[in-house]
Amino acid sequence: MKSITDIAIIGGGVIGLATGWQLARSGKKVTIFEKEEAGHGAGWASAGMLAPQTEAGYDQKELLELSLESLKKYPEFLKRLEEDSGIKVEAEKTGSLICALNRDDLERLQRFYDFRHQLEFPVQWLKGSEAVEKEPFLSPKVTAAVFVPDDWHLDSRMFITALKTAFTNKGGVIQEHAPVTEILLENKGRKISGIKILNQKTENEKEIQVDSIVLAAGAWSSQIKGIPEDFIPPIRPVKGMILNLKAESCQLTHVIRAAGVYLVPKRNGRLLVGATSEEKGYNLSANIGGIKDLLQNAFDIVPGITETSLEEIQLGLRPANRDHSPVLGPSPIQGLYYAAGHYRHGILLTPITALEVCHSILTGDTEKLKPFSITRFLSSVST
């Protein structure tokens, strides 16, 4: 069995690239194995929102805490990323307006506001006229809105490009079109020994010896052979579609959210409208009904989108665990680590995931990652 690297990362998406970059910064010899083109997965098709206060779930305390901490780490993370890549990625603090158009929306908005007020987030309740004054492109039919001032967003594609550059600049190696077909175990399945890679041109497999493996294969993380059934993360693909519009005459200044839609303005004149959520397996085709619904919902809240043009349909497969929280940190198998299942929060959770998974590999300290261990899905596991 050939040895070419200390650490193999399975999956070259935003999480794999960021974790690889942190490990390479620490001096480790790291190779990322990606079945297609690195970086062009769910993160590439995302809107790049950093909005833990808006997206806080009613029963996801640990995930909210992790998300808030990840957002706090972003300034330093982006600073180091620019140093290592030469690419400046800026996060924009535009805040979000969550809008209501009818009575049902208003009831949901009131619950949304009350929960965040209880958490002492600095949210503001606005009358419809106040919301339109704050964002003139809103429909006059808006009856009320909640303003969340601490929401950010960034250009996810620039972010991923910078991560890819920083990783290789620090000595990391990316093997694209090199799917990992199997994780190899030894010591009666208690320890990893290597991986099998498929050469897509020759259809031949080769075995590579590695010391550690980070499973960061996104929606495909449950498909890798060799992992004992009890330790396979219960991750499924959830298709999401975003419409990339050219919006020269509809220049929003805030992220807008309403029932069934969000609109995210970007500095380069793009307006991202998203996002659908479809349980269609690994099918990545664009659904006409989904496009219609997104456009209709966007028009209801921002009528000015009729003056925009459709530039691109962005499609990705969100990696969703049963509880919609990621699986992070070491597995019961020595040398196997998880960084997968981030669902809708991959970009937001990138800094904390990369830093803490790297920290756990280098030091053995997993305290911060315990709520996200694979063991939460198991009835009885000896760790």
Element (H, E) at 72: helix 61-85
Which of these, 112, 130, 137, 136, lies nearest to 55 by C-alpha position?
Answer: 112
The whole-angstrom separation of Cα 203 and Cα 335 is 28
Res 382: pLDDT: 41
pTM: 0.96
Res 204: pLDDT: 84
Res 383: pLDDT: 39
Count of beta carbons in the 10 Å neighbourhood of residue 123:
22
Helix axis angle, 156-169 relative to 61-85, nearest 10°? 60
Enter the tokens of residue 54: 């808006």
Question: Whole-number mean pLDDT of the chain?
Answer: 95
Where in the chain is CATH 3.50.50.60? Answer: 2-87+156-235+322-377
The whole-angstrom separation of Cα 234 and Cα 300 is 37
Q: How buried is 206 (Cβ within 10 angstroms: 0-12 exposed, 13-18 middle, 19+ buried)?
A: middle
Rounded to 10 degrees, what is the CA torsion of 182, 186, 191, 196?
Answer: -20
Alpha-carbon dihedral sign for residues 95, 100, 106, 108 = negative
Range list of β-strands (E), the chain? 2-3, 7-10, 30-33, 49-50, 96-100, 124-127, 144-148, 152-153, 173-175, 180-186, 191-199, 204-209, 212-215, 236-246, 255-258, 261-265, 270-274, 309-320, 327-330, 336-340
Where in the chain is CATH 3.30.9.10? Answer: 96-151+236-320
Regions of the chain with pLDDT less than 50:
380-383
What is the CATH superfamily name and number for domain 96-151+236-320? D-Amino Acid Oxidase, subunit A, domain 2 (3.30.9.10)
Res 199: pLDDT: 80
Say if residue 275 is preceded by a cis peptide, omega within 30 of 0. Answer: yes
What is the CATH superfamily name and number for domain 2-87+156-235+322-377? FAD/NAD(P)-binding domain (3.50.50.60)
Which of these, 280, 235, 247, 278, lies nearest to 377 by C-alpha position?
Answer: 235
Please tell me the chain's helix, strand, coil percentages from 3-state DSSP, rounded to the nearest 5: 35, 30, 40
